[in-house]
Chain A
Amino acid sequence: MHIVVCIKQVPDSAQIRVHPVTNTIMRQGVPAIVNPYDLYSLEEALRLKDRYGGRITVLSMGPPQAETALRKAISFGADEAILVTDRAFAGSDTLATSYALASAIRQIQKDIPVDLVFAGKQTIDGDTAQVGPGIAKRLDMRLLTYISKIRELEIDHGTITVERRAEGGVQVLKTKLPCLVTVLEGTNEMRFATMNNMFRAARHPLKVWNKESAGIEDLTKIGLKGSPTIVSKVFAPSPKAVKAEIIDTESNQPKDLAVTLLAKLFTKKPDLAQDIAKNAP
């Protein structure tokens, strides 16, 4: 069995700060990490490999530094890593990104057929959750999103049975391989890298593909040119003009403050008094 896991390197958003004057993101010193959601997918792929054997190829599109993310994936147990990197990809939106990644997966398939593609539920920077569905459509693979459990893989029949999170419950779905799976957070916990794999990760010869080796046929479909969406403006949320009315009383005793607040509240919002009365047990 051959599994491709798509991973993206992202800035650690917990450490992102916005410049108070220029409103731009201050990314100096912000560490780059593997998109946390992708680790759930990678771990799920590793578990399938533990159970059924096979190999895992990790794939990332990004600047040369994204190599670090791929090595990290190898330290967890992935077998092969491919970095798709070319200036021509800069500015790609999700439509262009899914085109580039789907092309690369077609190239990978030329060597060994791919049974499963894993992608993260979403990233923590672009945060669109659109690249997974996009790749599936472009490769004409079945799409299984928000998967909380892989129940069964029947390799001989080429089928997979999964639990999918829907709005009000869980759907149990069965479909045919090849398919693309996105994994829900909390489905599993990433294993620790073994000493062996850490050594392997440090020495592993990554494959680095430019647009030609990634099999890009139509240059108008990648980068800014291939991106229908355009970011026209980035700005900070405007502070609310009106600040809170601070309740004050002569005594400033809790009881007086509370009574004064309620009086103001119900004078200004008479409906709220009714709503509360309706709501109260």
Chain B
Amino acid sequence: MSEVTEPRKPTRKKVELDPKLALYKGVWVFVEHERGQVHPVSWELMGEGRKLADKLGVELAGIVMGAPGEDVQKFCHQAMHYGADLCYLIKDEVLKDYRNEPFTKGLTDLVNAWQPEILLIGATTLGRDLAGSVATTLKTGLTADCTELAIDMDNRSLAATRPTFGGSLLCTIVTLNYRPQMATVRPRVMAMPPRDESRTGKIVEHPLGMIETAIITKVLEYIPDNVQGKPQLAFADIIVSGGRGMKKQENFQRIWDLAKVLGAEVGATRPVVQAGWVEADRQVGQSGKTVRPKLYIAAGISGAIQHRVGMEDSDVIIAINSDPNAPIFDFATYGIVGNAMVIVPALTDAFRQHLSTSRMAG
């Protein structure tokens, strides 16, 4: 119950597992798609699932559920390009839009029929709705919103790590005497695996066995988000972020200028959003977006843990801060100690210069 702040009884290293559990074999990744597009977290998980399956010496399967009119076959092949050995497919008219009832039945039936030892699902709104329902129906454990997965070879169990208390602590959770071991995984944390078009595998179709009249919930309408003009931080390759060190909204223009030259998205810390300098969609961190760009430029940002958890997996981090002891220098790739008001414009000029020379050359 609320005694959650202390770890529960730690596990002993060697635990005798119920031999029945050995009947469960294989790693599964649920392939989430919406409006003809697979959610990138599914491929990130496929990459991670591949590693787990190899460690265990078992097969990796993709799970695709959808309506005949959707590109479900294509999604199966893509799953194999990203690392799956095979796919289980449930194709039925009633799976056209996500609804809890038919998806829970489909996935639960698949698990009961084929008995995987590990089932991974993206920690999206769809994934968390589905995973919680499926785990309860199967009466198994579910670790939420993980950021790291590993196999404990002592007993072949999944060790799933998740941040708690705003990222200031991590905890590792295992599901010992229950199968499958389920986990939802946060998007943009695992790296996108390479895509190999030559990979193929079989597709195993499974019936849903549920008709529309048996489903109580109806989808009346779907109103797609108007993404035009909305910041798309989660998928940006380059992000320029500013923090409270920029001091005023007018000064934040320097961040916008640099972003413009680079064709980058603008990000910010929570105090900047709270002060209303930029819209809430631009907040990076624990209560904002998790990003994983190739380049993250942080100006006037201290590097608090709640910000760090949202951006530390960026390929390259450049930090500009007037305080040589700012925590951001502990994990950035490059640092400039100085006044962001003048360093950021200098960087803007240098990048502009670089781009125009490389354009002339190429």
Give the residue name and chain of the A residue nearest to B13 (CB): A232
Residue of A nearest to B329 (CB): A244
Question: How many Å lie between the Cα of A92 and that of B4 in the bound state?
Answer: 9
A window 230-257: CB within 8 A of B: 230-237, 239-240, 243-247, 252, 254-255, 257
CA distance A119 to B119 in the complex (A): 26
Let me know if A196 is at the binding interface, CB within 8 A. no
- Within B312-362, the residues touching A (CB, 8 Å) are 312, 315-319, 324, 328-338, 342-343, 345-347, 349-351, 354-355, 358-359, 362
A169 CB within 8 Å of chain B? yes
Considering the complex, give the chain B residue whose CB is closest to the CB of A182: B129
Contacting residues, chain B, for A92 (C-beta < 8 A): 1
The answer on a CB contact under 8 Å between B350 and A258 is: yes
A146 cross-chain contacts in B, Cβ below 8 A: 125, 129
Given contacts A129-B128, A261-B318, contact A166 B142 (CB under 8 A): no
Contact with B along A1-28 (1 / 0, CB 8 A): 0000000111101001110000111010
A26 to chain B, nearest CB (A): 9
- Say yes or no: B350 contacts A174, CB within 8 Å: no
Q: Which of B139-193 contact A (CB under 8 A)?
A: 139-145, 159, 163-178
- Do B168 and A138 touch (CB < 8 A)? no
Q: Would you give the shortest CB distance from B135 to chain A, in whole angstroms?
A: 7
Q: Which of B132, B168, B332 has the most CB of A within 10 A?
A: B132
> Is there contact, CB below 8 Å, between B351 and A171?
no
- Is the C-beta of B69 less than 8 angstroms from some C-beta in chain A? no
- Interface residues in B218-246 by Cβ distance below 8 A to A read 218-225, 227, 237-238
Interface string of A119-134 (1 = CB under 8 A from B): 0000001111111111
Across-interface contacts of B295 in A (CB, < 8 A): 272, 275-276
* In the complex, B124 has a CB within 8 A of chain A: yes
Please judge, given known A-B contacts A231-B173, A243-B330, A245-B333, whether A133 and B129 are in contact too, CB under 8 Å.
yes
- Contact (Cβ within 8 A) A127 B145: yes
How many residues does chain A have at the interface if contact means C-beta atoms less than 8 Å apart? 97
Contacting residue for B136 out of A134, A169, A269, A275, CB 8 A: A134
A130 with B128: CB separation less than 8 A: yes
- SS of A interface (majority): mixed
Residues of A within 8 A of B7 (CB): 231-234
Which chain B residues border A126 with CB–CB below 8 Å?
A: 4, 144
Whether A62 contacts B1 by the Cβ 8 Å rule is yes
Contact partners of A259 in chain B: CB under 8 A:
350
Flag whether B137 is at the interface (Cβ < 8 A). Answer: yes
A244 touches B175 (CB 8 A): no
Q: Are B132 and A133 in contact (CB under 8 A)?
A: yes
The answer on a CB contact under 8 Å between B336 and A228 is: no
In the assembled complex, which residues on chain B have CB atoms less than 8 Å from the CB atom of A134?
132-133, 135-136
Find the A residue at minimum CB distance from B9: A224
* A-B interface pairs (CB < 8 A), number: 313
Q: Which of chain A's residues has its CB closest to B11's CB? A: A232
Cβ of B45 to closest chain A Cβ, rounded Å: 15
- Residues in B whose Cβ lies below 8 Å from that of A195: none
Q: A173 on the interface (CB 8 Å rule)?
A: yes
User: A215 an interface residue at 8 Å Cβ cutoff?
Assistant: no
Check: B262 CB closer than 8 A to any chain A CB.
yes
Cβ of B362: which chain A residues have Cβ within 8 Å of it? 277
- A226: nearest residue on chain B (CB-CB)? B139
Q: Is A93 an interface residue (CB 8 A)?
A: yes
Pairwise interchain contact A232-B172, C-beta atoms closer than 8 A: yes
In-complex Cβ contact of A25 among B139, B169, B221 (8 A) = B169
- Taking the closest CB of chain B, its distance from the CB of A203, in whole angstroms, is 25
Q: Give residues 250-269 of B contacting A (CB, 8 Å).
A: 260-264
Chain B residues lying within 8 Å of A133, measured Cβ to Cβ, are: 100, 128-129, 131-133, 136
Question: In the complex, given contacts A168-B224, A236-B169, A257-B338, what are 18 additional A-B residue pairs having Cβ atoms less than 8 angstroms apart?
Answer: A95-B136, A125-B4, A130-B128, A136-B133, A165-B125, A167-B32, A169-B222, A170-B223, A170-B225, A229-B143, A229-B173, A230-B174, A231-B10, A234-B171, A247-B335, A255-B350, A257-B336, A280-B262
The 8 closest A-B pairs by CB, nearest first: A133-B132, A228-B141, A254-B346, A128-B144, A244-B335, A258-B350, A244-B332, A172-B221
